Chain A
Amino acid sequence: QKEVEQDPGPLSVPEGAIVSLNCTYSNSAFQYFMWYRQYSRKGPELLMYTYSSGNKEDGRFTAQVDKSSKYISLFIRDSQPSDSATYLCAITRNSGYALNFGKGTSLLVTP
């Protein structure tokens, strides 16, 4: 079993919709959770970084971590066409460790 599982989509939503992106992981040693956004032919861009269980909000983005279920989510409110990208979840044990990535979910927000 891969350490991080992520539904690849594609996911297509109308502008203004709430988007929910999810990942599950298998190893409770993972302590740090990140979401990256990657536009076509660009490098991954860090969106959200969380450590503890619970919610973290930044503008239209909310990251949610449930360590008991080994489940992480990213919510995008009032989605915009500019949010169309691939979203990657990533988890790690500690600083200096490599990230374990999900395969990414492709999101398309249509006007």
Chain B
Amino acid sequence: DAGITQSPRHKVTETGTPVTLRCHQTENHRYMYWYRQDPGHGLRLIHYSYGVKDTDKGEVSDGYSVSRSKTEDFLLTLESATSSQTSVYFCAISGGAGGNEQFFGPGTRLTVL
């Protein structure tokens, strides 16, 4: 998985609770992304980062926030989890020597009850 880890790998939580997902890379890539994958929708961008402390919104950012205080870590927070946020979340990185290719982590399966 190109030196990308995600934690936790599985999580079950209740509606209204905050949840933080972590993405950690060992590749020193500049760009990091959070996607969610849902049946019928495919992969959709939530937020992305183009450097430490530099982030921007993606297509489905409502209800999510992100932070990047170090090159290697990108955190995704669900401020108050809802059932519609039940999904599989993938982190991706790009900006290495290869340039434009994006490499994905193993995913976090989140269930909100």
Q: Which residue numbers of A lie inside 8 Å of B, CB to CB? A: 32, 34, 36, 41-46, 49, 51, 88, 90, 92, 94-96, 98-99, 101-104
Main secondary structure of the interface of A (DSSP, over half): loop
* Cβ–Cβ < 8 Å partners of B59 in chain A: 98
Total A-B pairs, Cβ < 8 A: 60
- Minimum CB–CB distance from A83 to chain B (whole Å) comes to 19
Interface residue count on the B side (C-beta < 8 Å): 29
A98 x B45 contact (CB < 8 A): yes
Picked from B45, B98, B104, B109, the residue with its CB within 8 Å of the CB of A44 is B104
Within 8 A of A (CB), among B66-94: 90, 92, 94
B18 interface hit (Cβ, 8 Å): no
Whether A34 contacts B42 by the Cβ 8 Å rule is no
- Bound-state Cα–Cα, A96 to B102, Å: 9
Contact check, B40 vs A99: say whether CB atoms are below 8 A apart: no
Q: Which residues of B contact A88 (CB under 8 A)?
A: 42-43
Which single residue of chain A is at the shortest CB-CB distance from B56?
A98
